[in-house]
Structure 1
Amino acid sequence: MSNNMKNIEFEKPSYSEWQDAAIKALKGKPFESLLTKTSEGITLEPLYTQESLVAKLGEELDKQVATIRSLQNSQVFKVAQQVYADTGEAFFAQLDDSLARGNEVVTIDSRVNFEWTAEIVAKLATYFSEYSFKITVENSNDPLLAVFDNIAIEQREATKGFIVSKNPITLTDFPNVRSIGADITVYHNQGANAVQELAYALAFAAKYAEQEESFEAFAKRFYVSFAIDTQFFTEIAKLRAFKVLWKAFSSAYGIEKNIKIPTLAETSLRSFSKLDVYVNLLRAANEALSGLIGGADVFTVHPHDALTKPTDQSIRIARNVSLVLKEETNVLKVTDPAGGSYFIESLTADFVKEAWALFLDIEADGGIDAYIASGKLAEELEQSYQARIKATQTRKQSLIGTNIYANPADVLESETNPLFADIKRIAIPFEQLRADMTAANVKTGILALGTLKSSKPRADFVSGFLNTVGVVPEKSEPIATAEEAVAWLNTTEATYVVIAGNDDDTKELVPAILAGKPANVLVDVAGKYKDEEEAWLADGLNGFIFAGQNIIEKLNSVFASMKEVQR
C-alpha cells in the first residue's frame, strides 16, 4: 500500500482549468472580482504561475534576479536600536545596555531632552570609533555633529556610519561616513506609496549626483532610507525593486560595474495607533520580517509605544524582534530569499516599471526640486494619503484594535512623542473622535428587534462600529412590538439609538417606532433600505449604519447631531 502511494502522481492542472474551477466557485460573480488593485495602481492576479511569469518578463527575469543578488551586501539587517533618554546619564546607560544585548549600530536622533554638551559629545565620540552609527540631525549646524571633531585624525578613516538629514552634510577626512541620503521615510510618513517612494529615491539621487565631482564619489557617500509598512509582499518587492532601479540608474551614468548602495530601513509609524498599542508590536514584527526578506542592510524597529513614551521594556522588546528574526528564521543564510517567487518577482518588475516612469516624469519637469516647487509632489502625496485614510475608514484596510475589533475600555494616551508628532497616521481620526466622544460622555443604545437569533448579527455589527470610537452601547432585550420599542426608547439614557433586526422585522416595526419615539433621541437603522429610505427619513429617522460605510464621516455626523439635540 505504502509503495503504491509513493508511486501515485497527481496531474498538474493548467491555468485555464484552475480558472474554470474558480469561476464555478464564484457562483455567478465575474472572474474579474478576484483581481485586486493596489494603492500603487497595480492589478494583482489571483494566481501566479511559472508560465505567466516567464511570459511577462522573458529574459528580463534572469537579469532581474541576477541584479538583485549581485547588489546585495554581504552583511545585511544590522540591528539599529534607537536610544531614547531624558538625560545624558540615562542616554549612555541605555546605549551601553543595548550594545551589550545585541544592538549593532549606535542609533540617535539629535532631538533629545538634554543638551549635547562638550562632555557628552566627547564621550559619544569614543563609541563612534568602535561601532558603526546612524544619526539623524536637523541641519549642518546641529550640535550633535560636534562628535566628529572629537574623533582623532588617525581614527577617522575607520569610522563608519550614516548621517540622516534633510540636506547632505559635508564632512572632511571621513571617507567611510555616508552623509548624502535619500531619506524617503519623510515622504512615506506623508502618505507616499511604494512606486512614489522608489521614484523619489532616484530623483534625489539624480539631484545629488549632479552636485558631486564624479558619480563614483557620489556613490561612496550615498544611501537610501525607507520605512517599511504592513503590506508584507509590497514592502519586500519595494526593497528588491530599488536594487534593479539603482542598476538602471547607475548605467545611465555610464557605470557598468556593480556599485552597492546601503539600504537603511525602519518600521513604519504611519500604521501605528495609540489604541491597543500591543498590536503595534505585531505590525512591527511583520514589517521587520519584510525588511529582512527584502534585503535591508540596517534596520530599526520602533517600540510599540513609540508614539507616546517608550519604556525600558518596550525598547528591549523592539530590539529582540530583530534578534529573534535574524537568529530563528534562517533567512540570512540565503541570498535574496524571495527570489524566484512568481508573485514577488512579478510585483518587483511592476514596481520597477512604474517607478522608473514616474522618475522620468520628475526629471522631465526639471528634477525633484522643481517637482516639489510645482506642488505636484504634495498633490501626489495627498491623494495617496486620502486613499489610505478612506480605505481605513471604510474598513477596506483593517487596522486591528482601531477600526475593527476595537476595545472600548482601552485608555487613549494623551501624550505624544514630539519626534513622531507630524506623521500622517491613518489612526488619528479614530483617536480624535474617541477622545471627543469620551469627553462628552456620549450615551448610545441598540434596539434589538425580533428574536435574539434574528437581531444578533446586526446588533453585533453596530456594537463593533461604535466600539471604534470608544462607545459601549446599551443593548435592549429582543423586542417584538412597536409599543415595547417606544417604551424602551422612553426609559433609556441613550440619546443615540440604532435599530437592529432582520429586514422583515425592521420594515414592519420602524414606521410605528418613528411615530412614537421621543424627540430627543436620534434613531438610526442598521442595514440598507433603499425602498423605504425616503419615507423613513421624512418621518424622523436620522439615517443608516451599514458595512462599507465611512465610519468616521458617519459618527462625526452623529456626534454633531447629538450635540444639536442636547442644545
Structure 2
Amino acid sequence: MSIASHEDAARSAHAAWQKSVAGVLAKSRRVEVADLPADPEHLLDSTTYDAITVSPLYTAFDERPEGPLPGQFPYVRGRDPHRDVNAGWKVCTRHGSTARDAADGDASVLNTQILDSLSNGTSALWLAVGGHGVDPTVLPEALRGVFLELAPLTIDAREDVSAAAASLFSILDSADIDDRAAVDIRLGVSTLTAQLGGTATIEMTEALELVHESIGRAETIRTITVDGTVFHNLGAGDAQELGASIAAGLEYVRSMTNAGVGISDALRQIEFRFAATDDQFQTIAKFRAARTLWARVAQVCGSSEAGDAPQHAVTSEAMMSQRDPWVNMLRTTLASFGAGVGGADSVTVLPFDAALHGGAAGVSKTFAARIARNTQLLLLEEAHLGRVLDPGAGSWYIEDLTAAVAAKAWEFFRTVEASGGFRAAVDDGSLVAAIEKTRAERDSDIAHRLTPLTGVNEFPNLAEAPLTPEQTAQQGSAAVHRYGRAFEALRDRSDAFLAEHDSRPTVLLIPLGSVAEHNVRTTFASNLMASGGIEAVNPGPLTVDGIAAAVDSFQAAVAVVCGTDKRYADEASTAVDAARAAGVSRVLLAGPEKIFAGIEGTSRPDGFLTAKVDAIAVLTELLDTLGAKK
C-alpha cells in the first residue's frame, strides 16, 4: 500500500470512529447527530488550570517529529545519556529537620540515621542545617562514613548557608577523594524564592561570594537552587510554576554575569526543584517541558551546552491531606512515578503523614521514612521504571502535553519578563496575583467537589480517630496552601464538637420510599455531610407518618429529605411539613430545585443539595446551625 493510500485509509477509519462517537454523544445528550460539531470528540475535552486543552484521545494525526536523543539539546528526553539504567534516578531522602526528626540536632544520632538510610536504598541526601536542622559545626560528625563521591548531597541551610558551606568545604579538603569531580553538592541558596516561601535566606551579595568560591573548587558544586515548589505551594499551575522558575533562574544568571561570572559557569551553578503531583501525566510533561525551557534560555544566552541543569523532584506538599493520611501513600506513589518517568535526576518522597505536625498518632518517624523510601525502590527495583530513559517519548498524548505545557510556561515567563523581570514581578505583586487567581479557581473546584480529594471531599472516613489541635497546627511555612485545608477545617470543628459533646454534629436523613428508591441520594447526602465532619443518621425507609417519631428519636435539628423525583412529586411537600412540625429547624432536600418547582403545595425546603453546590458554604452553615464552634 502506498503512503497516500495508507493516509486515506487512516482518514476513513478516523471519520468512521468520529461518526460512532457522534452517535453515542447524541444519545447521551438527547440531541440529533446533526446538531453536533464535525469533531464531536472534542466535546469531551478538559482544560487544565493553565488553560491547556486535554483531549480524550490522541491519534497518529497528533504525532510530532521525533526529538533528539537523551543528553542532546534541548534535553527534553533527559540530561544524562549515560545514566545507570540499573540504578535509575537518585532516591533522595531528607534528614536533619527538627520538625519531626528523632535526631533533634544530635549529630551522632543523625549520622546513624543517614548511614542506615544509605544502606537501605537511599542514593542522595538532603540535609537540613542551621536554625531548623543540625548546627553547621557538627557536619563532620553527621557525615562521618558518607562517601560524598557516591551520594550527591543537597543542603538546606537558609541564612546559615555560608557557615554550612565552609564546614562542607573543610570536610572535602581533608578527605581522600580520587575523583573530586564526582562529588556532587548543591548548596541550596534560594535568595529569590525564599521570600515567597516565608523562609529566611541570605542576600544576593553573599550568594555571589559563594558562587565564586564554588566555581573555584574541583568538586561539582551548584550554589543556587531555583525552588519552584514555592510557586506550587502558593497555588500555581504547572506552567506558572515553570514560567516563574525560569524567570527566577534567568535573574540569578544576570546577577552572576554582572558579578563577573562567565555565562557557562553561571548556568552550571543552578539546579531546579519542582513539585511532583498525583496527576501523573501532567507531572511527566512538566519535567520534560522544564528542560526544554531552560535549554532555550541557555541557547539564547549563547551556551546551549550548559543548559542541562539538574532537576530535583519533591512530592507536593499542597496535595497532602491531614485526614485519612494513608491515602497520601498512593498520592506520593503516583507523583514519584510521574517525576521518575519525566526524567527528574533525583526524587524526594515526603512521608505520608507530613501534613500532620509531629506525624500521625502511633506512627514512628522511621516507619514513615521507610515507606517513603520504599515507594521509590519499588518503582525502580520491581517496576523497573529506571531501565529506560524517557519511556514516555513517542506517546502522542505525552508529547503533545509536553509541548503545550512548555508553550504556556514560556508565555508566563515572557509576562514576568515584560513586567521587568522576576524581582519586579514579585515587588509589584503581579506574579503572586496571577498565582492566586489559579489557586482561587482550584479552591472553587474543590469546594464544589468537581476536583475530588479522596478521603477529604470524597469518600471521607468519619470514623477515623479525631486529630489533636497540635497535629493540625500550622507547621513550617504558612505559604503552603494545601488543597484540602478548607474541608479539613470543618472536620476540625467536628472534632472539637465531639470532644465537648461525646458525639458528632448530626443530621437526620428522611428516606422516602424503598431502599432502591432513596439509596442513591442517601448515599450522596451521607458522603457530603461526612466531608464536613457531620454524621448523617439513616433510620431506613420512612413514610410521612413516621417522620415525627424519627425526629423525636434522634432529636434532629436538621433533616435531609431523600428520594426519587417521582416520590418527591407525591410526598416531598408533606414530608417537609411533617419534619418542621416535629421540630426540625432546617429541612434540606437532596436534589435540584427545579424538581420541587413543579410540586404542588406551599412548603419548600430550606435548601437543595446537589453535586454542584458549594459544599464548603453549605457545610459551614450547617455546622453553625448545629452549634459546632469555629
TM-score (structure 2 length as normaliser): 0.81
User: Aligned ranges for residues 25-424 of structure 1 at < 5 Å?
Assistant: 25-28=24-27, 29=29, 30=36, 31=40, 32-54=42-64, 61-62=66-67, 67=74, 68-69=76-77, 71-72=79-80, 74-75=82-83, 77-83=89-95, 84-87=101-104, 88=106, 89-110=108-129, 116=135, 118=137, 120-126=138-144, 127=146, 129=148, 131-140=151-160, 144-145=164-165, 147-148=167-168, 150-153=170-173, 155=175, 157-158=180-181, 159-167=183-191, 169=207, 170-171=209-210, 172=213, 173-174=216-217, 175-212=219-256, 213-257=261-305, 259-308=307-356, 309-310=358-359, 311-414=365-468, 415=471, 416=473, 418-419=475-476, 422-424=479-481
CA contact (8 A) 2:77 2:288 kept: no
Code of the residue aligned with 1:62 in structure 2: it is G
> In the alignment, does 2:587 pair up with 1:523?
yes
The Cα shift of 1:531 comes to 5.9
User: Aligned ranges for residues 426-445 of structure 1 at < 5 Å?
Assistant: 426-440=483-497, 441-445=504-508
CA contact (8 A) 1:182 1:223 kept: yes
Distance 1:466 1:19 in 2: 41
Q: Deviations over 1:308-348 (max 9, x none)?
A: 23521111111111111112222322221111000000011
CA contact (8 A) 2:268 2:306 kept: no
CA contact (8 A) 2:276 2:283 kept: yes
User: Aligned ranges for residues 477-556 of structure 1 at < 5 Å?
Assistant: 477-480=540-543, 482-516=544-578, 517=580, 518-530=582-594, 532=596, 539=603, 541-556=605-620
Q: Deviations over 1:160-211 (max 9, x none)?
A: 2112233164432545221112110111111111111111121012101111
CA contact (8 A) 2:284 2:338 kept: yes
Q: Which residue of 2 aligns with 1:5?
A: none
The Cα shift of 1:422 comes to 4.0
The Cα shift of 1:128 comes to 6.9
Q: Which residue of 2 aligns with 1:475?
A: 538
Q: Deviations over 1:512-566 (max 9, x none)?
A: 23334244532100001326359999846321111122211111122223349x9
User: Which piece of structure 1 moves more, 513-522 or 221-230?
Assistant: 513-522
Q: Deviations over 1:453-486 (max 9, x none)?
A: 1111111111111121233211122123x23223
Q: 1:421 to 1:328 in 2, by over 3 A?
A: farther
Q: 1:248 to 1:323 in 2, by over 3 A?
A: same
Code of the residue aligned with 1:244 in structure 2: it is T
CA contact (8 A) 1:474 1:494 kept: no
CA contact (8 A) 2:130 2:164 kept: no
Q: Which residue of 1 aligns with 2:523?
A: 460
Distance 1:428 1:257 in 2: 43
Distance 1:537 1:211 in 2: 74
Distance 2:136 2:388 in 1: 45
Q: Which residue of 2 aligns with 1:3?
A: none
RMSD: 2.7
Choose from 510, 521, 532 the match for 1:447: 510
Distance 1:374 1:117 in 2: 36
For structure 2, which runs of at least 5 residues remain unmatched after alignment?
A: 1-8, 30-35, 96-100, 192-203, 360-364, 498-503
The Cα shift of 1:150 comes to 3.4
Code of the residue aligned with 1:166 in structure 2: it is S
Q: 1:511 to 1:476 in 2, by over 3 A?
A: same
Q: Deviations over 1:70-109 (max 9, x none)?
A: 6346335201111233431432221121011111112122
The Cα shift of 1:129 comes to 4.3
Distance 2:188 2:277 in 1: 20
Code of the residue aligned with 1:446 in structure 2: it is L
The Cα shift of 1:117 comes to 6.6
Q: Which residue of 2 aligns with 1:6?
A: none
Task: Give secondary structure in 2 for the equivalent of 1:433.
Answer: helix
Distance 1:334 1:35 in 2: 31
Task: Give secondary structure in 1 for the equivalent of 2:94.
Answer: coil
Distance 2:126 2:443 in 1: 31
CA contact (8 A) 2:243 2:413 kept: yes
Q: Which residue of 2 aligns with 1:7?
A: none
Distance 2:69 2:18 in 1: 29
Code of the residue aligned with 2:82 in structure 1: it is S
Code of the residue aligned with 2:139 in structure 1: it is V
> In the alignment, does 2:578 pair up with 1:558?
no
Q: 1:256 to 1:438 in 2, by over 3 A?
A: closer
Q: How many residues align?
A: 548
Q: 1:152 to 1:333 in 2, by over 3 A?
A: closer
Code of the residue aligned with 1:399 in structure 2: it is L
Q: 1:467 to 1:546 in 2, by over 3 A?
A: same
Code of the residue aligned with 2:416 in structure 1: it is I
Code of the residue aligned with 1:197 in structure 2: it is E
CA contact (8 A) 2:77 2:343 kept: no
Distance 1:537 1:522 in 2: 18
Identity %: 25
CA contact (8 A) 1:498 1:525 kept: yes
Q: Which residue of 1 aligns with 2:501?
A: none
Q: 1:135 to 1:538 in 2, by over 3 A?
A: farther
Code of the residue aligned with 2:246 in structure 1: it is L
Q: Deviations over 1:136-158 (max 9, x none)?
A: 12225676445325324365955
Distance 2:117 2:301 in 1: 41
Distance 1:536 1:312 in 2: 64
CA contact (8 A) 2:234 2:481 kept: yes
Code of the residue aligned with 2:22 in structure 1: it is I
User: Which piece of structure 1 moves more, 369-378 or 108-117?
Assistant: 108-117
The Cα shift of 1:265 comes to 0.7
Task: Give secondary structure in 2 for the equivalent of 1:273.
Answer: coil
Code of the residue aligned with 1:69 in structure 2: it is R
Distance 1:330 1:514 in 2: 60
Distance 2:279 2:78 in 1: 26
Q: Which residue of 2 aligns with 1:8?
A: none
Code of the residue aligned with 2:323 in structure 1: it is L
Distance 2:166 2:174 in 1: 17
Distance 1:236 1:550 in 2: 32
User: Which piece of structure 1 moves more, 225-234 or 390-399?
Assistant: 390-399
Task: Give secondary structure in 1 for the equivalent of 2:313.
Answer: strand
Q: 1:439 to 1:540 in 2, by over 3 A?
A: farther
The Cα shift of 1:253 comes to 1.0
The Cα shift of 1:112 comes to 6.9
Q: 1:231 to 1:556 in 2, by over 3 A?
A: same
Distance 1:511 1:121 in 2: 73
Code of the residue aligned with 2:403 in structure 1: it is A
